[in-house]
């Protein structure tokens, strides 16, 4: 406990110290005017995030205060990322999750899921990996993680042999199972999206840029010839690393567990009218998440539906749909939002604001142009592009990264007179890989919002998983991508 406290204290003072040192030592014209200030702020934020020196949401407000004071961006520009549509996608999803939990629908789903997948620790994690990965092929990774998190939390609660609230206070085997399960939900929601063009926003952005620059359409089936094997290999590798190396749980089937689950289902009784209403709203939200493109194309003839307005509609319905005709009561009341993870909304807003600063001062563009200066097309150039993309994706929006980086890579491909897909597709896949920090991907942030994962646990797991993922993407670029698009 003293070591943890000392680490927090060291990080508390180290953060602002690094800020001052970098601000003073880096020249004001480093990269571009103001870049030294953004790098200094980033160092402060990352130090406090890793050390958890102060509440993590509080750290996320640093750019909101410092960027206007330092002249990096105006107050209006600095505040805008905190109202990004992704923030409201989170909010709507959290409201839906609250209703699932309040009416114990998530517990009913979890009990049935355990009954199907078995009660061994690794078996349950595998079941969640397969379900999450498959769903995220077709709908938003963020929406997938939001749907799976409350179910995962209820499974953890069901299998705990202790009443402790915090996972890190549980016995080692249960702690490892809980952290492994939660991390797998977050990571599988990201990795499954690599399988299809519509699976994750960076893929869609890449498809749009390719059409804009070259008037070339990406074939859905061809993408899957690369995406599905890459996603499957990444998922299986992640499962192996989490369950065998990082967080081995050794939880075997418990005698009588089947009877226990059956009894718990019996205690829940028949599905109530409230559960049916929550399930209906949940199902409709999922339906429109899955088929929003078809509705936009065939019904509305324009892009009226998106992940955010669908999520907020589902969330609001939980507050306005009455549980009965006679009773003026609703599925959720405002007092229920006491349990809503408000901090994660500010965390993601801070990450987006930092990314905006990095882009605004040209830091990201400079890194991209530096890599573009490599003149030879060989496997080391591809590896360098993938490594740089994964590292950058840890600290900025993967969508913004693809938007900034891919046009530069198109320029490299044009100069070398090669198919741009050969360079840009591996980078696009790598842009969705970021396992170290909550801000790296929305699913990371969602599972981190459970309060059961410490920042240092995610960083430790993320370092190893980033390395393995880089190698897999690299090998895919030399084999699958060339075979399909060469």
- pLDDT tens per residue across span 272-317: 888 899 989 988 987 887 777 778 878 887 778 877 888 899 999 9
Residue 216's pLDDT is 80
Q: How many CB atoms lie within 10 A of CB 88?
A: 17
Residue 76's pLDDT is 94
Compute the average pLDDT of residues 101-111: 76
Compute the average pLDDT of residues 313-336: 87
Q: What is the pLDDT of residues 231-242, one digit of tens each?
A: 999 999 999 998
Give the orientation angle of helix 85-102 with respect to helix 105-117, to 10 degrees: 80
Residue 260's pLDDT is 63
Q: What is the pLDDT of residues 359-397, one digit of tens each?
A: 788 776 676 566 555 545 566 777 877 888 888 777 766
Residue 261's pLDDT is 67
Q: What are the angstrom distances between the C-alpha of 416 and each of 94, 348, 353, 427, 475?
A: 47, 38, 36, 17, 21
In this predicted structure, the answer to whether residue 256 has a pLDDT above a threshold of 60 is no
Any bridge partners for residue 469, and if so which?
none
Confidence of residue 419 (pLDDT cuts 50, 70, 90): confident
pTM of the model: 0.67
The residue with greater pLDDT, 479 or 344, is 479
Q: What is the pLDDT of residues 180-202, one digit of tens each?
A: 889 999 999 989 989 887 777 78
Residue 318's pLDDT is 94
Residue 455's pLDDT is 81
| Tokens 């399960």 sit on residue | 181
In this predicted structure, the answer to whether residue 166 has a pLDDT above a threshold of 60 is no
Region of 32 please: left (phi>0), alpha (psi -120 to 50) or beta.
beta
How far is residue 485's CA from residue 274's CA, in Å, rounded to a whole number? 51
- Which of 214-223, 347-356, 456-465 is modeled with the greatest confidence? 456-465
Chain centroid offset of residue 102 CA: 25
Q: What is the pLDDT of residues 428-454, one digit of tens each?
A: 888 888 888 887 788 888 888 777 788
How far is residue 45's CA from residue 57's CA, in Å, rounded to a whole number? 11
Compute the average pLDDT of residues 170-179: 79
Judge whether 409 and 427 are in contact, CB under 8 Å.
yes
C-alpha triplet 258, 263, 268: angle, nearest 5°:
130
In this predicted structure, the answer to whether residue 99 has a pLDDT above a threshold of 60 is yes
Residue 162's pLDDT is 47
Note the residue count of the chain. 486
- Work out the percent of the chain whose per-residue pLDDT is above 90: 16
In this predicted structure, the answer to whether residue 14 has a pLDDT above a threshold of 70 is yes
Q: How many CB atoms lie within 10 A of CB 296?
A: 15
Compute the average pLDDT of residues 345-355: 80
Residue 313's pLDDT is 94
C-alpha triplet 346, 351, 357: angle, nearest 5°:
125
| Tokens 């509440």 sit on residue | 55
Report the mean per-residue pLDDT for the chain: 81
Q: What is the pLDDT of residues 42-87, one digit of tens each?
A: 899 888 887 778 888 899 899 999 999 999 999 999 999 888 887 8
Which of 4-8, 61-65, 120-124 is the least confident region?
4-8
Instruction: Show me where the domains of the chain are located.
Output: 1-81, 85-195+220-338
């Amino acid at each position: 406990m003293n070591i943890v406290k000392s680490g927090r204290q060291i990080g508390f003072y180290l953060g602002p110290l690094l800020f001052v040192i970098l601000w003073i030592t880096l020249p004001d014209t480093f990269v571009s005017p103001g870049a030294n200030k953004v790098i200094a702020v980033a160092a402060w934020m990352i130090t406090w995030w890793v050390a958890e020196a102060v509440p993590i949401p509080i750290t996320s407000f640093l750019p909101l205060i410092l960027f206007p004071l330092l002249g990096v961006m105006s107050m209006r520009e600095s505040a805008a990322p905190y109202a990004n549509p992704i923030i409201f996608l989170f909010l709507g999803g959290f409201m839906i999750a609250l209703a699932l939990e309040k009416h114990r629908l998530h517990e009913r789903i979890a009990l049935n899921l355990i009954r199907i997948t078995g009660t061994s620790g690794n078996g349950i994690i595998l079941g969640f990996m397969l379900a999450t990965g498959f769903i995220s092929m077709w709908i938003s990774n963020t929406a997938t993680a939001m749907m799976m998190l409350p179910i995962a939390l209820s499974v953890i609660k069901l299998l705990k042999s202790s009443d402790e609230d915090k996972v890190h206070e549980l016995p080692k085997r249960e702690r490892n199972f809980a952290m492994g399960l939660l991390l797998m939900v977050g990571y599988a929601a990201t990795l499954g999206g690599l399988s299809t063009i519509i699976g994750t926003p960076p893929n869609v952005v890449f498809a749009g840029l390719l059409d804009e620059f070259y008037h070339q359409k990406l074939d859905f089936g061809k993408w899957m010839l690369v995406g599905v094997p890459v996603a499957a290999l990444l998922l299986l590798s992640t499962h192996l690393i989490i369950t065998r190396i990082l967080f081995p749980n050794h939880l075997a089937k418990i005698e009588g567990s089947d009877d226990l689950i059956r009894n718990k289902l019996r205690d829940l009784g028949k599905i109530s009218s409230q559960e049916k209403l929550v399930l209906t709203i949940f199902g409709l939200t999922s339906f429109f998440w899955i088929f929003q493109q078809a509705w936009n194309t065939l019904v509305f003839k324009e892009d009226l539906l998106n992940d955010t307005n669908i999520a907020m509609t589902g969330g609001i319905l939980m507050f306005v749909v009455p549980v009965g005709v006679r009773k003026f009561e609703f599925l959720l009341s405002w007092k229920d939002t006491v349990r809503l993870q408000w901090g994660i909304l500010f965390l993601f807003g801070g990450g987006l604001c930092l990314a905006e600063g990095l882009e605004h001062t040209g830091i990201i563009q400079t890194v991209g142009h530096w890599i573009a200066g490599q003149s030879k097309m060989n496997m080391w150039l591809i590896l360098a592009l993938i490594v740089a993309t994964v590292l950058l994706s840890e600290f900025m929006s993967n969508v913004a990264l693809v938007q900034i980086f891919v046009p530069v890579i198109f320029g490299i491909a044009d100069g070398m007179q090669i198919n741009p897909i050969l360079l840009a597709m591996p980078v696009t896949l790598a842009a969705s890989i970021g396992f170290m920090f909550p801000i790296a991907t929305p699913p990371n942030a969602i599972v981190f919002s459970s309060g059961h994962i410490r920042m240092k646990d995610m960083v430790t797991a993320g370092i190893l998983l980033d390395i393995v993922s880089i190698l897999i993407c690299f090998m895919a670029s030399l084999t699958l991508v060339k075979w399909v698009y060469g």
